[in-house]
Amino acid sequence: MAADFNWAVGGEAGDGIDSTGKIFAQALSRSGRHVFTSKDFASRIRGGYTAYKVRTSVDKVQSVVDRLDVLIALTPRTIEENLEELHEGSVIIYDGERTTMQNVEIPEGMIGIDVPLKRLAEEAGGAIMRNVVALGAACEVAEFPIENLDSALEKRFGDKGQKLVDNNKEAARAGRSYVAEEYDAEFEYDLETTDEDYVLLNGDEAIGMGAIAAGCRFYSGYPITPATDVMTYLTGRLERYGGHVVQAEDELSAINMALGAARGGARAMTATSGPGIDLMTETFGLVATSETPLVICNVMRSGPSTGMPTKQEQGDLNHMLYGGHGEVPRFVLAPTTVDECFWKTVEAFNLAEKYQLPVYLTADLSMAVTEQTFSPDTFDMDAVEVDRGFVVDDASVDEHLSESGGFKPHELTEDGISPRAFPGTVDGAHMSTGLEHDEQGRRTEDTEMRVEQVDKRNRKVETATDREEWSPREFGDEDAENLVITWGSNEGALAEALDLLEEDGIGIRVLSVPYVFPRPDLSDAIEAAEETIVVECNETGQFANLIERDALVRVDRINKYDGVRFKADELAREIKATLETGTEATQ
């Protein structure tokens, strides 16, 4: 395994942290290196501290680690915030001429590189480019060819004219030369490049791309962290494919618009996070009883209430499974990796239309904002299939009319799936309602029909459960006696933790579960294991509780709910400790 390199840029919100980080991440991915990014929004101290972290290697990287090799510190707080991850030999690039950085002390054992970022940027054409000067300096430290930064700069500034691109290239070179001339120390890093060809994207973007690939035509949403990126991505792009994005006045409106579009026959989606899911829950029941296909994406953040909006958590599982009054079937898909966000989105649309029900598609904050590199064929558009389910047209509608001639959108069928007629279909006119209804969608309180309709809706779940596809992803040592089960974005950290545990002679079998409902039966795997641990980012162990109920056994749990995602090395330690001592929640 090639050594990986961990890099970060940090400063105040408004310092251009995001774009600086993104340029570097893109330069790396375009150089055939794997990249895994993470973002720190406001943390320990209140205020505008923000950081963009990049972990890179020629091997696949799937998580964050407790290590920082090079840090561009635009404020003293950046150093303070990252002290624990900095180590002997870490390089800190800073601008000693900046008033706030003049008295900054470089912790012992670390290498401070004082570069007059602002001055060099001004010489290259404008102070605003000081972050790019810093990037140039970082390239020198990491022995990363500065030419490889050029195409990322072109991508970033190309729209604004060649002059700006050239100035930025010059700024980067000024940073590099300054370090080369003033510091003749040998740094221990050497970022090799490869011929591999990667794309770099985050979970929200993968969801948006999956939606377009799947033929989504209508999206309505209301901005909320960390789901907004889905809407930002779709805005303008969906229109290129004959669709439309509406920023609604609130989440109640967003889900109702999407419902309307779906009844019109479009593939429709909305995305939100915790508080928005609460608001959508009223209409969720209507979507389900009216048997309208709808994809509702919940990008989870830390709750309850407004909680910690920029922090990680997987706390909404119970809500998605049980939320709403009364009882209605719904599916819950939870992709476990960024690339799976794409494929599960495609699948969510197919499942929604095939089974005519709402599908929750859930990602968590860590996955939503994390960018990762993938080979472009991971998103093979030729493999995308669109299954619109049971739709009648002018010719076939006749087979589903009642004796009096009315269309039967809730026809009682063996598999629970009824015909759909889009508006415009001749003789297909019908009403849908949140009230209990008969086969034609007309209100009823008839006891028999009530039972028949409830059973019909639930039969769809039974029909769906027969699908083989509801299986978990398995990795690690399949014969190991220790079993770890997880869901959501923990998979990457877990995969890397396994390697670390292996070094200690601990073998683990892992099941990562992207289908929460319907879900695979894990009883056999749990029974075969000596010890089972469920890893998740919440306090009460919502997924562990499900597993226990399914298998009628007790499992161990590792729960993290401090707002920070699992790190590979941390998780390895936790698993080891749990295997030694049994359950212990971390916080």
Footprint on residues 251-280 left by another protein (CB under 8 A)? 252-254, 256-268
Binding residue for another protein (CB under 8 A) from 38, 50, 336, 425?
425
- Of the candidates 583, 472, 467, the one whose C-alpha atom is nearest the C-alpha of residue 524 is 472
Per CB under 8 A, which region of 81-89, 324-332, 380-388, 459-467 contacts another protein? Answer: 380-388
Shortest spacing between CB 500 and another protein, in angstroms: 30
Is residue 28 part of the contact set for another protein (CB under 8 A)?
A: no
Shortest spacing between CB 332 and another protein, in angstroms: 22
Whole-angstrom Cα distance, residue 394 to residue 406?
Answer: 14
DSSP 227: T
Per CB under 8 A, which region of 41-49, 184-192, 285-293, 532-540 contacts another protein? Answer: 285-293
Binding residue for another protein (CB under 8 A) from 148, 283, 345, 482?
283
Is residue 423 part of the contact set for another protein (CB under 8 A)?
A: yes
Whole-angstrom Cα distance, residue 279 to residue 498?
Answer: 40
Residues 158-197 that bind another protein (CB under 8 A): 197
Whole-angstrom Cα distance, residue 456 to residue 453?
Answer: 5
Is residue 212 part of the contact set for another protein (CB under 8 A)?
A: yes
Token pair recorded at residue 385: 């299939």
- Of the candidates 150, 144, 177, 145, the one whose C-alpha atom is nearest the C-alpha of residue 165 is 150
Token pair recorded at residue 295: 């994809």
Contact 200, 189 (CB under 8 A): no
Shortest spacing between CB 445 and another protein, in angstroms: 12
Measured at the alpha carbon of residue 530, what is the angle toward residues 527 and 536, in degrees to the nearest 5?
A: 85
Is residue 60 part of the contact set for another protein (CB under 8 A)?
A: no
Per CB under 8 A, which region of 159-167, 173-181, 248-256, 561-569 contacts another protein? Answer: 248-256
Binding residue for another protein (CB under 8 A) from 286, 341, 493, 513?
286
Binding residue for another protein (CB under 8 A) from 112, 309, 323, 434?
434
**Number of residues near another protein (by CB under 8 A):** 71
Is residue 107 reached through a cis peptide bond, with omega within 30 degrees of 0 on the bond before it?
Answer: no
Q: How far is CA 263 from the centre of its chain?
A: 28
Q: Say which residue the tokens 């500034």 belong to.
A: 157
Residues 288-307 that bind another protein (CB under 8 A): 290
Residue 516: strand, helix, or coil: strand
Is residue 404 part of the contact set for another protein (CB under 8 A)?
A: yes
Is residue 392 part of the contact set for another protein (CB under 8 A)?
A: no
Binding residue for another protein (CB under 8 A) from 106, 128, 412, 431?
431
Decide whether 284 or 517 has the Cβ nearer to another protein: 284
Decide whether 96 or 260 has the Cβ nearer to another protein: 260
Beta strands in 106-215 (DSSP E): 111-114, 199-202
Contact 62, 4 (CB under 8 A): no
Binding residue for another protein (CB under 8 A) from 239, 399, 455, 527?
239
Q: Is 426 exposed, middle or buried (0-12, 13-18, 19+ CB in 10 A)?
A: exposed
Is residue 243 part of the contact set for another protein (CB under 8 A)?
A: yes
Is residue 401 part of the contact set for another protein (CB under 8 A)?
A: no
Which DSSP string corresponds to 312-343? -----HHHHHH-SSS----EEE--SSHHHHHH
**Strands 199-202 and 111-114, sheet pairing:** unpaired
Shortest spacing between CB 399 and another protein, in angstroms: 17
Residues 106-165 that bind another protein (CB under 8 A): none
Is residue 495 part of the contact set for another protein (CB under 8 A)?
A: no
Per CB under 8 A, which region of 157-165, 283-291, 303-311, 318-326 contacts another protein? Answer: 283-291
- Of the candidates 305, 296, 243, 251, the one whose C-alpha atom is nearest the C-alpha of residue 270 is 296
Site string for another protein, 548-587 (x = CB under 8 A): ----------------------------------------
Is residue 237 part of the contact set for another protein (CB under 8 A)?
A: yes
Shortest spacing between CB 453 and another protein, in angstroms: 15
Binding residue for another protein (CB under 8 A) from 102, 194, 306, 433?
433
Half-sphere exposure of 530 (CA within 13 A, CB side): 11
Decide whether 446 or 584 has the Cβ nearer to another protein: 446
Q: Cβ neighbours of residue 498 under 8 Å, at least 6 residues apart?
A: 475, 476, 508, 510, 572
Residues 339-378 that bind another protein (CB under 8 A): 376
Sheet containing 482-486: give its strands across.
473-476, 508-512, 482-486, 531-536, 556-559
